[in-house]
Structure 1
């Protein structure tokens, strides 16, 4: 494997007498991934899912921009990649290739696919679960290890119940990665975020249809640069320890705690999806049995694994001490990402309260978000917050809700609340 992985652990391993909670930030870096034509031709498969419901005609530029964006993504696929295009309404229809299965990217098949996309028309409803089920069946015909989907919608999942969609996500999770995009302002942020998180992808708003092409091209290019599929973060913990949570905290916040697969003895795998040359951070929290002052414990061992191969490893330690200067010191990486998680929660809970008409809670939560964004230097988030609240004092989080807020500003803030900033690293405690 030409891609190399390194694992670094950042933590304050010192605990006060009686303390049992160990926190660590695990930084995983993959480097040396081959890109472009250098990759094996059959290593990747791509399914592009385009919403073709009736609302995609309003305005008309929406569907025409979606067609251009799909064509751009098709052009980005390198030769040898298997691909398909799906039209989504209250049903799911294979647009290209013309019979069930995947086509292999070449100048000819790319041209044929773009011709098929030109003929797309908007009509019908929205049943996203059916779209994902068809994508899953298409991927099942491929032997490619890297399986990626792009899903575009402009509306809510009106022709399925939440339970039906949840059941579909249970069925397809772990089989492919899916990046989700909402165009316009009539879709539901929470709905798309749930899909993206379950399928280890990203979610974002594309407010203007003309911006779709660049976004689709970037998503397809990113997928083409992935080199190692189905990587898991494996966490071993000692007897008597409990894993409180495992969360990806950079580049986006994704809680993978409930996605654990047991690996006896005393280990569990948490999915991380496919990797190219990139760095991601994870927050691991472990509850360990209390020990006497001066004792030292291996509280956890973190490994990156692909199948049976260990790609990198790091240790999480616990040392009990009477020295309060040591035990009360908060590790800067842990503090940074704890603040980032609180910022995301404050924004999402504040916006929910605002929708529900709970002015007091909305003001308190969004005020706290302004305060956190200011403290952490999250200037992009601070700008988005200023479109929803009038800031009187950013340092103390004193704000007033704006009476009139553009829907696109509210949705952009909500969608991007889970994007995080990387903390500047010092030397790790263990690598």
Structure 2
């Protein structure tokens, strides 16, 4: 998602002002026009996730015209699974294989430059579309406004129960018991029933799912939704399921090929969103459709947090004029994005402020109440926002409470993100990429 770390005072005030001052943007209405769409799924060792992604494309009210899966050097049976799934979907499936991993950006570039379709839909292999009208809704946004460079829906965590339900309703009936598209999934679902698997899940992944559910509510339902009201665009898309204007995407790739190559920061979707905003184009969040994505374990969480947070700061550095502009004008390229970026930058220093308070506490310069006060302010603000933007508020409150230990566990990573990006800048290191 990409914010440096927490949402604290300045971001809360800015987004709260947007909610009170400006009305929500009207939903796009489809005109019935259906431009050609090519979908691309970059995959690396995704035999147990990619069937969900592909079948979710097949159940769309407006499915893509064709799908390209880029097997980026997998060592499992990802390729065999893709080959086996062809017969159960209503579009052509092309499998491209890289002998060694080249990264998600390289895979998207390869397909975008070779394609002729007007729209390109990028879907992560560990993500599936929850709403059957997902692509139809995103196409409607592109039809509504010629300045739309990309459109995307809401993200929700994918749980074991969700995947098991999708398997029963959409996959079991499409493929035989020995089909390579079905076997890995059935084996995984059966393994979930063992006591050891359940224990590992509830200790290592379930808390992260609850934390991410709260994080997504705040990021999408409050921050991005407020930016849509303030600027008419989000700063960047939720990169696991995005419909791009293919020509504009290729223009960005070509524009930074000589200077950056495939290293478009540690999360390419954030860089692309900033690049589009820099050109006066828009990144549209569609609130009425959603996708579900796999979440990391507690052990894997810090790395993903670093990738997202650092990519935000790296993108803000590359697009410094956009990131520091606090006054707007009639030109869409002069929207005052700096108000949002600078607010997030200051609020992202909160973990460092917390660590400084701990140090001062150890030196007996401040009292313990200062530390508790800072923690209580941030956590309560975060929980209140998560509940306020949720439809099921009791469930949202429970999720916010369960996610508190995970959020505390994450706080030191906020300081690490800032320190490492600053160190990279001082050393002249720009080899940023997944």
TM-score by length of 2: 0.34
The structure with the larger Rg is 1
Q: What is the TM-score normalised by the length of structure 1? A: 0.34
Q: Which has the higher strand share?
A: 1
Q: With CA pairs under 8 Å and 6+ residues apart, which has the higher RCO, 1 or 2?
A: 2
